[in-house]
Amino acid sequence: MNARMIPKCNSLHLGILPLTVLALVFFGVWNLRRVPAGMFGHVLTVALSPCSRKDVLVLTPWLAPIIWEGTFNIDILNEQFRLRNTTIGLTVFAIKKYVVFLKLFLETAEQHFMVGHKVTYYVFTDRPADVPLVPLGTGRKLVVLTVRNYTRWQDVSMHRMEMISHFSERRFLHEVDYLVCADVDMKFSDHVGVEILSALFGTLHPGFYSSSREAFTYERRPQSQAYIPRDEGDFYYAGGFFGGSVLEVHHLTKACHEAMVQDKANGIEAVWHDESHLNKYLLYHKPTKVLSPEYVWDQKMGWPSIMKKLRYVAVPKNHQAIRNR
């Protein structure tokens, strides 16, 4: 690699960093759960590399990087993942009338998602005949997985965990290296690449990325398997964009599904359904990367100055009208 492509580093030596992280992980930092309330309201500046930011939080207390524009070198990362011959699976659910969002989702994914890498789109739908024909680039393919629908949109949302878990075990483990699980009523509007890939990643919810723990809408009822006490919590993660290695995603989705089954047997439903269970899981199984709200954004919230790019954004729509069709 051309030395001119690698910027100078005036801080922590990058050769030492992986060993430091591993040592801390195995000596217990990985299991950190209790963090002083309000600490995430402050800016933490960590000079781990020249690709850093001083205006946002760039590292979690358990030493997982938080991915913002300006914190990574995509050329170096692309080369690393190409050398590994990495294949990425992208799961999306297009149930009932939500299939109308699929064409824009796929077209924009072809423009911005993992460009230059092998990708398999896994489309879960109850309407396979309505899946649009979108031209795909070299090394990219689309697989349609026919599933049943449910009367309530909440049930559709919660059964995503069951379906992803089921197919991870029986198929995805043998076909791809990483899984990215995304909502269909969104579009890719800028680069989303291998910088997100890690054993397990979650994405900061755009409505809570700058909020204190007290404002998080965790499930607070102890009767639910998604319950999180008020003195615990790291971040509030969005249910619409998460992933990791296939094995780790299988563990996550299976655990969330089993928790929802138990809740149903006890006559309770978590306040934000599968998102509540995702937050509970990521509290006790720390993600190895955290994505900034660049990776899940709603432009109705404007464009804050800290957001250098809006990468994956909500498509304007009338949710209720679509759900009632």
Mark the binding-site residues for Mn(2+), compressed into ranges.
Answer: 183, 185
The burial of 121, by beta-carbon neighbours within 10 Å (0-12 exposed, 13-18 middle, 19 or more buried), is given as buried
Q: Which helix (H) or strand (E) holds 87?
A: strand 87-94
CA distances from residue 133 to 52, 130, 186 in whole angstroms, order as listed:
40, 9, 18
Residue 94 CB neighbours (<10 A) = 25
Binding-site residues for UDP-N-acetyl-alpha-D-galactosamine sit at 93-95, 98, 183-185
The burial of 40, by beta-carbon neighbours within 10 Å (0-12 exposed, 13-18 middle, 19 or more buried), is given as buried
In degrees and rounded to multiples of 5, residue 95 shows phi and psi of -100, 140
Q: How far apart are CA 282 and CA 201, in angstroms?
A: 9
Q: How far apart are CA 315 and CA 299, in angstroms?
A: 9
The burial of 112, by beta-carbon neighbours within 10 Å (0-12 exposed, 13-18 middle, 19 or more buried), is given as middle
Q: How far apart are CA 319 and CA 324, in angstroms?
A: 9
Catalytic-labelled residue, pool 110, 195, 275, 294: 275
Query: CB-side exposure of 304: number of CA atoms within 13 Å?
Result: 14
Q: How far apart are CA 231 and CA 212, in angstroms?
A: 11
- Give the pair of three-digit tokens for residue 287: 């993600």
Collapsed DSSP state (helix, strand, coil) of residue 227? strand
End-to-end Cα, the chain, rounded Å: 55
**Is 275 labeled as catalytic in the residue annotation?**
yes
Binding-site residues sit at 93-95, 98, 183-185, 205, 217, 275, 298
Place of tokens 């690709």: 51
Residue 123 CB neighbours (<10 A) = 22
Place of tokens 């006559």: 267
Please list the active-site residues: 275
